[in-house]
Amino acid sequence: MSTVKRTTKTSVGGEQQPQQENNSQMTAAQLKEVEDLKKIQPANEFGGAIGTAFLIFLLPVLVYWLWVSMEFNQGYLLLPRELSLAGFQEVGATLYEKVMTHAIPTQKSFTIYACWFLFQVVLQALVPGRNVLGTPLPGGKRLPYVLNGWRCFWITMLAAFALVYSGFIKATILYDNFGSILSTINLFAYVFTVFLKIQAKLKDEEERMSGHFFYDFWMGFARNPRIGSFDLKLFCESRPGLSLWVLNNLSIAVKQYETFGYIPLSTAMVCVFHFWYVADFHFHEEAILTTMDIVTEKFGFMLVYGDLAWVPFTYCLQSYYILRHVDANGSPLNISFQYALLVLAVKAFGFYLFRWVNSQKHAFRRNPEAPIWGKRPEYILTKRGTKLLVSGFWGIGRHLNYTGDIIIAFAWCLPCQFDSPAPFFYFAYFTILELHRCHRDHHACAEKYGDDWKEYCRRVPYIFIPYIF
Ligand code: NDP
């Protein structure tokens, strides 16, 4: 059995420590796995070279379309005819002007975003956290991470509150500069992806490349790009986008207070739900280390744009919609207390499923012998050495965590009621995302685990809803 010795040291949380990884020796199979990553791979996801070229330019357009529909069309989705040049001439010349004046990046938007991004970098780099190792990568290597998300999240929220309270910034600063900050981030996302490409090339960290420019730009280059011990992918997945989403919501809520004299119950619910989701994410931050995004995906435009722009600027559309979708008297649509309770019940059910399914897998990966629902868990020991859980939620459905997340997405849209399909965009998009993600994960696992995956699918035949799908 051929082996490759490694004797590196890594810096974890600022201390020099021996790398507690099982990458000190690679088996022949692991070595082959690593070598295979360097081979050219077919461009067969997301519509291949053409599909991804389209997505790289379409995604920002989609975000602008949603924002413009909210801001300038009372939350009704602008139709393609209204957005066409002819449409602009017919009804929208002023719309065009408005969009241009609101969406051009400004010195202010650059300053806001630069301060924001750097502040998040400083927090990630300096705030103490738990030192943990990630899941084994091809070759058996495990990367060290410092998990300080919970503290960083609260420091961010307190800092934002302090800046507003002291009068240094206006609470509506994010809403007031929504379009120009969005444009700034759009530009940054392209530049940052180019940086990732150059970095991966220089450090010879590119893997699973196809040779198609747009496809690789979209899918990414290196799996876990780092600057020293600073993990760029974990940072972008967890920090600048998620907290900005929460703050965008709060900024819009304050705008509602200024506009209507109160914050509607519907907005309060949306803000609390989103805050809860992001706070929960940070509280269970370690669980991200076993997700597809961290373990499998490379870091490219898809994740960069998703993390930095898509999440903070489309996930807050429900509160934006409630602000702009007013009745003839200028009052927002509100909801009854009974309706709010119903929405809360849907959200609580979705959240219960989402949280416990994810936590069950994570706890199992940490300690496969720990009881699940009072019993010793059953699992399939794969030829790769990892274990596939077939007890608890993971014995009922293969992706009940996605089911929970989709129910949560629906609950977030419900406070907006049914006047316009626009606020349900998130639910529609998220359902498609999860179906597609499930399809990709299934193929990745089938490739990774071969017959073991077939056996798992035989034992757990349903994916989202037991006995139905
Ligand atoms: P999962 O957490 O389900 O991870 C899938 C991986 O888990 C598989 O590739 C496999 O990897 C491992 N696995 C699969 N089945 C089993 C099993 N039976 N036992 C043990 N391990 C198993 O999915 P994601 O990473 O896609 O998502 C995690 C959560 O994040 C989900 O709830 C999702 O909804 C949410 N999410 C939310 C987003 C948002 O924008 N709100 C965006 C994306 C995700 P391996 O065996 O190699 O470890």
Q: pLDDT tens across 272-302, in order?
A: 999 999 999 999 999 899 888 999 999 999 9
| 8 Å CB contact between 210 and 41 | yes
Question: Is position 363 within any domain?
Answer: yes
Distance of CA 463 to the CA centre of its chain: 21
195 phi, psi to nearest 5 deg: -60, -45
Ligand 1 site-directed mutation target among 234, 280, 402, 438, most atoms within 8 Å of CB: 402
Residue nearest to atom 37 of ligand 1 (CA): 405
Question: Is position 303 within any domain?
Answer: no
Residue nearest to atom 10 of ligand 1 (CA): 445
Q: Which residues contact 337 (CB under 8 A, 6 or more apart)?
A: 265
Q: Find out whether the beta carbon of 359 lies less than 6 Å from any atom of ligand 1.
A: no
Question: Is position 12 within any domain?
Answer: no
Distance in Å, CA 284 to ligand 1 centroid: 14
> How many distinct structural domains can be found in the chain?
1
Distance in Å, CA 288 to ligand 1 centroid: 9
Q: What is the DSSP string of 206-233?
A: --S--S-HHHHHHH-S-SS-EETTEEHH
CA 461, 466, 468: angle at the middle one, nearest 5?
A: 90
- CB neighbourhood size of 36 (10 A): 12
Indicate the SS3 state at residue 168. coil
Q: Structural domain of residue 384, as residue ranges?
A: 336-468
Q: Find out whether the beta carbon of 437 lies less than 6 Å from any atom of ligand 1.
A: yes
Tokens linked to 53: 């070229």
- CB neighbourhood size of 367 (10 A): 9
Give mean pLDDT, residues 50-64. 95
* Ligand 1 atom closest to the CA of 292, numbered from 1: 25
In this predicted model, what pLDDT tens digit does every residue of 121-180 receive, in sequence order? 999 999 999 999 998 888 888 999 999 999 999 999 999 999 999 999 999 999 999 999
In this predicted model, what pLDDT tens digit does every residue of 220-247 receive, in sequence order? 999 999 999 999 999 999 999 999 999 9
Q: Residue 265: its pLDDT value, please? A: 96
Question: Is position 390 within any domain?
Answer: yes
Q: Find out whether the beta carbon of 214 lies less than 6 Å from any atom of ligand 1.
A: no
- Give the C-alpha separation, 303 to 307, whole Å: 6
Question: Is position 255 within any domain?
Answer: no
Question: Is position 407 within any domain?
Answer: yes
Per-residue pLDDT band at 201 (split at 50, 70, 90): very high
Question: Is position 228 within any domain?
Answer: no
| pTM confidence score | 0.88
Distances in whole angstroms, Cα of residue 284 to Cα of each of 128, 145, 403, 458: 16, 14, 19, 31
* Ligand 1 atom closest to the CA of 441, numbered from 1: 9
Question: Is position 448 within any domain?
Answer: yes
Measured over the CA atoms of residue 166, residue 168, residue 174 and residue 177, the dihedral's sign is positive
Ligand 1 site-directed mutation target among 289, 318, 361, most atoms within 8 Å of CB: 361
